[in-house]
């Protein structure tokens, strides 16, 4: 492995990026990568993680491939790198066909040094076939804590990255994150075989952030937000403020109320808005046209605005990790910024219910196992067969939300019952001027195969729809992949228009004895219950930190395994003598008896049994009463049924206990 001396990377740093030295922590990461080792960089938000791959990418011989969950961050990084003369690109859903072809050609020819993709791009068999033939020096995993089941943003698809790295023969990896507990770091190291000495953490504490906890009753919270904003407005300088809320309707309501109380523009931002609208709001925030945003957690990932002077939490964050990420967007220019928690315990039930809503029921897990067994075909003497599925229909069939459904499938992989083979699009549609003009580009053997594609396609007015089973019957089991390559080749040469839909996952199934199914289901269910309790405990640990009379900055640092702070920060609400006792949550005087709950559920139960031909489970009743959703409740249009959400302020566990008595 070629190593690069300090003068080599230092000259690249100076000539390309205009820096004379690296920040704390960057040099050991850069040197590990240039020495051919894998590494992990755990730096606070805004502390220069990106340079840890940007600089080595200039000196490594082949492509640097970055996997990021954030489209906005990809686009910002590409723009920044191009402004420095670095050949960088992203493959994302915003590209036109011509732009996609141009990027792929640049990567193929080695003209592009840095390529950004989402983890979902790796499910695309066309992309995998393309990237398999590209030499790659380094795989970079951004937001790498997503690979850990014990992390706060676990993404099952991230667990497959080590296998993709092996398949694409990528010699080393770099993992980047701002928030990782000791357990999460262990998972990251284990999956990517990183030596402990190559995990570089610069510590959590940022001295320019004032962390203030001011628990405020809900009826006074908007006025308190306005007070903080007006304090900043009076200074007469450009600034940005982000107010975080839990629910989309709260974002709209708070933004509307603040318009009557402050003299600068304020807008709501949440996932319920059209993508174009969100992008326009984000752009107005970045340029300063709209200094204040009221947002759900959908806002902020990948936002790099240096002069955010305030981050206000109107509602409780989901965890210490989420809180740390959200306050990490403040004060990136190094100047003082205020991070103010205004929430009290009144929003705790809503956050707990989000966690409970993601846990699949034992019956739903059993439905999933039944579906796999029933839909597996071609089982051989070793009990192995093939199962094909599409996530959204499977979610609707089993009543399991998409994220926990993916997690379940990953657990079945880890237990040896499923082996992912490949993914493909079930629907291929193409349009061309004429069959004869397309055939003219090829020799006789390829013409014959293309004619088979035409014959095995259903022709509409202008579009051909490829019938994959008919093609495989006519030309053999490998015909689908060959057809995809042929259509892709024609598409790249502008000889036809190609559309693909319906992502299908293909697994090899190791069948299990029917007698063991209940044991497997119980084990999976217990795993989810453990994670559910872990998430609930994480939430209560966060509350304990906020309520504590110890230095807030120091407690957060210790939580992230940073023991470098030898004394208290001196500028959090505790250190400044501004600690406040939290008001006790209002106890619900009304008690719900079984007979009353039966009345609430009468219309729901009737509609449920009519649609699904079975009585509702206790969990389904509880979700209905607490105003929660699931795939089956969505199919049922539960929001339109009388008494939906009538107990939304009651704790989930309390309502579930009543539902189990029915």
- Residue 6: the pLDDT is 63
Written as one string, the DSSP assignment of 8-53 is HHHHHIIIII--SSPPTTHHHHHHHHHTT--EEEE--TTS-STHHH
Question: pLDDT digits over 465-495, tens only?
Answer: 999 889 999 998 888 888 988 998 898 788 9
CB-based contact 244:310 (threshold 8 Å): no
Which fold is adopted by the domain 6-201? Rossmann fold (3.40.50)
Residue 589 — pLDDT band, cuts 50, 70, 90?
very low
Residue 528 has pLDDT above 70, yes or no: yes
CB-based contact 208:232 (threshold 8 Å): no
Average pLDDT (200-214) is: 92
Average pLDDT (442-454) is: 94
- Residue 413: the pLDDT is 86
- Residue 254: the pLDDT is 97
Residue 198 has pLDDT above 50, yes or no: yes
- φ/ψ of residue 526, rounded to 5: -60, -40
Write the CATH number of the domain with boundaries 209-351+548-559: 3.40.50.300
- Residue 291: the pLDDT is 96
Buried b (16+ CB within 10 A) or exposed e, 129-166: ebbeebebbbbbbbbbbbbbbbbbbbbbbbbbbbebbe
Question: pLDDT digits over 536-569, tens only?
Answer: 999 999 999 999 999 999 999 999 888 888 899 9
Residue 169 — pLDDT band, cuts 50, 70, 90?
very high
- By the 10 Å C-beta count (0-12 exposed, 13-18 middle, 19+ buried), 614 is classed as exposed
Give the CA radius of gyration of the chain: 27
- φ/ψ of residue 517, rounded to 5: -60, -40
Question: pLDDT digits over 4-38, tens only?
Answer: 656 689 999 999 999 999 988 999 999 999 999 99
Would you say how long the chain is, in residues? Answer: 662
In the chain, ranges of CATH 3.40.50.300 domains = 6-201, 209-351+548-559
Q: In angstroms, how far is the first alpha carbon of the chain from the final one?
A: 68
Tokens of 138: 């380094």
Residues in CB range of 555: below 8 A, 6 or more apart? 545, 548
Q: Which residues sit opposite 337 in a β-bridge? A: 209
d(CA 560, CA 556): 7
Residue 2 — pLDDT band, cuts 50, 70, 90?
low
Tokens of 423: 């993914």
Residue that wins the pLDDT comparison between 658 and 301: 658
The whole-model pTM stands at 0.79
Looking at every residue in the chain, the average pLDDT score rounds to 90
Residues in CB range of 635: below 8 A, 6 or more apart? 396, 611
d(CA 58, CA 53): 9
């Amino acid at each position: 492995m070629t190593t690069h001396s300090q003068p080599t990377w230092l000259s690249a740093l100076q000539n390309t990026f205009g820096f004379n030295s690296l920040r704390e922590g960057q040099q050991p990461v850069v040197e590990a990568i240039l020495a051919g080792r894998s590494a992990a960089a755990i730096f606070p938000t805004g502390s220069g993680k990106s340079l840890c791959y940007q600089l080595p990418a200039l000196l490594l011989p082949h492509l640097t491939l970055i996997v990021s969950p954030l489209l906005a961050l990809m686009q910002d990084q590409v723009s920044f790198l191009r402004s420095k003369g670095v050949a960088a690109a992203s493959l994302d859903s915003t590209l036109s066909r011509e732009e996609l072809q141009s990027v792929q050609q640049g990567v193929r020819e080695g003209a592009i040094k840095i390529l950004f993709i989402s983890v979902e791009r790796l499910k695309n068999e066309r992309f995998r076939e393309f990237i398999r033939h590209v030499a790659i020096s380094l795989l970079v995993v951004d937001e790498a804590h997503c690979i850990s089941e014990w992390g706060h943003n676990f993404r099952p698809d991230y667990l497959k990255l080590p296998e993709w790295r092996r398949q694409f023969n990528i010699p080393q990896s770099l993992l980047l994150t701002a928030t990782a507990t000791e357990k999460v770091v262990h998972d990251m190291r284990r999956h990517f075989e990183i030596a402990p000495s190559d995990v570089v953490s610069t510590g959590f504490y940022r001295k320019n952030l004032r962390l203030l906890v001011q628990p405020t009753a809900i009826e006074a919270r908007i006025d308190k937000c306005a007070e903080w904003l007006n304090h900043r407005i009076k200074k007469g300088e450009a600034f940005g403020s982000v107010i975080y809320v839990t629910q989309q309707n709260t974002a709209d309501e708070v933004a509307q109320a603040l318009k009557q109380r402050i003299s600068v523009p304020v807008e709501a931002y949440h996932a319920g808005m059209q993508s174009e609208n969100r992008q326009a709001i984000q752009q107005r925030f970045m340029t300063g046209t709209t200094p204040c945003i009221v947002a759900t957690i959908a806002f902020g990932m990948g936002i790099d605005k240096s002069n955010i002077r305030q981050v206000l939490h109107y509602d409780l964050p989901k965890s210490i990790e989420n809180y740390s990420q959200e306050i990490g967007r403040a004060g990136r220019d190094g100047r003082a910024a205020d991070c103010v928690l205004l929430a009290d315990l009144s929003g705790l039930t809503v956050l707990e219910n989000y966690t409970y809503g993601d846990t699949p029921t034992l019956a739903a897990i059993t439905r999933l196992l039944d579906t796999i067994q029933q839909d597996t075909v071609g089982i051989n003497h070793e009990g192995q067969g093939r199962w094909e599925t599409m996530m959204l229909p499977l979610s609707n069939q089993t009543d399991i939300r998409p994220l926990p459904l993916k997690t379940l499938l990953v657990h079945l992989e880890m237990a040896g019952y499923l082996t992912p083979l490949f993914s493909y699009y079930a629907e291929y549609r193409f349009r061309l001027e004429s069959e004869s003009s397309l055939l003219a580009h090829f020799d006789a053997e390829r013409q014959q195969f293309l004619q088979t594609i035409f014959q095995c396609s259903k022709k509409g007015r202008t579009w051909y729809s490829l019938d994959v089973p008919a093609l495989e019957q006519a030309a053999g089991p490998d015909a689908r992949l060959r057809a995809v390559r042929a259509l892709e080749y024609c598409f790249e040469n502008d000889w036809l228009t190609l559309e693909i839909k319906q992502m299908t996952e293909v697994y090899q199934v190791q069948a299990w004895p029917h007698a063991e199914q209940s044991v497997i289901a119980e084990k999976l269910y217990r795993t989810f219950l453990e994670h559910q309790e872990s998430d609930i405990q994480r939430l209560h640990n966060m509350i304990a930190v906020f309520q504590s009379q110890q230095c807030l900055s120091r407690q957060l640092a210790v939580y992230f395994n940073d023991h470098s702070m030898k004394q208290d920060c001196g500028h959090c609400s505790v250190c400044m003598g501004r600690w406040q006792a939290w008001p006790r949550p209002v106890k619900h005087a009304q008690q719900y008896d079984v007979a009353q709950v039966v009345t609430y559920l009468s219309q729901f139960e009737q509609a449920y049994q009519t649609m699904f031909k079975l009585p509702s489970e206790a969990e389904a009743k509880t979700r209905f009463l607490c105003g929660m959703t699931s795939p089956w409740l969505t199919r049922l249009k539960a929001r339109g049924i009388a008494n939906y959400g009538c107990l939304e302020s009651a704790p989930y566990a309390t309502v579930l206990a009543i539902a189990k008595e029915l």
